[in-house]
Amino acid sequence: MKLRTIIVDDEPLALQRLKRLLGGEPDVEIIAECENGATAVAAIDLYHPDLLFLDIQMPEMDGFEVLQELDPKRLPAVVFVTGYDEYAVRAFEARALDYILKPATRQRLAETLNRVRERHAATKGLAVPKELLELLAERKVATPYIRRLSVRTNNRLTFVPVDEVDWIEAAGNYVVLHTGRTTHILRQKMRELQAQLPPETFLRVSRSAILNLRRVKELQAVTPGENVAILTDGQRIPMTCTIHEVEEQLRFG
């Protein structure tokens, strides 16, 4: 049985080196190569690999964030690939998780694959080690607010950085993300999403609207009890909160 494997690394030379070394392993089948976190999540969701070689230091979405986007019950076996990162290496070693330092060497790769094979034989599959789930849980607690939103449309997965969201509109069990002239529909309730957004940047100004305060250009009192926020692109968003509440958040957020 071959180990269906995905390689993820934003450095083309490092990715090609690892691919070349893995090419000499008869029981390893490379089914996808990814150069960023977004394509990695999509490929993992599509192919459900047995084994994942995952670069940690990647822009926009690092390796840990890739894993946090996946279903924890369906995680593949993971071998972390990293430039020397003292914190990461200590964390991996403390939990007996597999990692390879760049540049990858044939000897280190062979040692790592042998451990993967032994676990595979012992468990009749590549069970997700609880140590990996614990590490991800610790990181989630340390960084409680999300930096991007995952929007699924049919077989497509789109990542929307929260900083690019102008405002969020409630729509029953869904929300609509307004980003410039583009909208994205996300299956999540407003209250749940609000708890995940950084409060210094996002403020719920009514039952149906959350504003990115960095997009607010002007606040207007239209009539007694009716206020409006005007965004930098000219959109007018009705508010049920007071202008003073928004002003205070803008001042101290």
Which tens digit of pLDDT belongs to each residue from 161-217?
A: 999 999 999 998 899 999 999 999 998 889 889 988 988 899 999 999 999 999 999
Band the pLDDT of 87: cuts 50, 70, 90: low
Global pTM? 0.63
Percent of the chain residues topping a pLDDT of 70: 91
CA gyration radius, the chain: 22
Half-sphere exposure of 106 (CA within 13 A, CB side): 5
Which tens digit of pLDDT belongs to each residue from 95-146?
A: 768 889 888 999 999 999 998 888 877 766 555 667 787 777 776 665 678 8
Report which residue type is found at 232: T
Is residue 41 within 8 Å of residue 69, measured between CB atoms? yes
pLDDT at 253 over 70: no
Tell me which residue of 185, 246, 189 sits closest to 212, measured CA to CA: 246
Token duo for residue 240: 């049920």
Is residue 216 within 8 Å of residue 246, measured between CB atoms? yes
The pLDDT, as a whole number, for residue 28 is 95
Q: What is the C-alpha to C-alpha distance for residues 168 and 196, in angstroms, rounded to an integer?
A: 13
| Domains of the chain by residue range | 3-141, 148-252
The pLDDT, as a whole number, for residue 162 is 92
Q: What is the C-alpha to C-alpha distance for residues 3 and 117, in angstroms, rounded to an integer?
A: 9
Which tens digit of pLDDT belongs to each residue from 205-233?
A: 999 999 999 999 999 998 877 899 999 99
What CATH superfamily classification does 3-141 receive? Response regulator (3.40.50.2300)
Greater model confidence, 114 or 153: 114
Q: What is the mean pLDDT of residues 15-36?
A: 95
Report which residue type is found at 171: A
Residue matched to tokens 């207007």: 220
What CATH superfamily classification does 148-252 receive? LytTr DNA-binding domain (2.40.50.1020)
Q: What is the C-alpha to C-alpha distance for residues 171 and 187, in angstroms, rounded to an integer?
A: 9
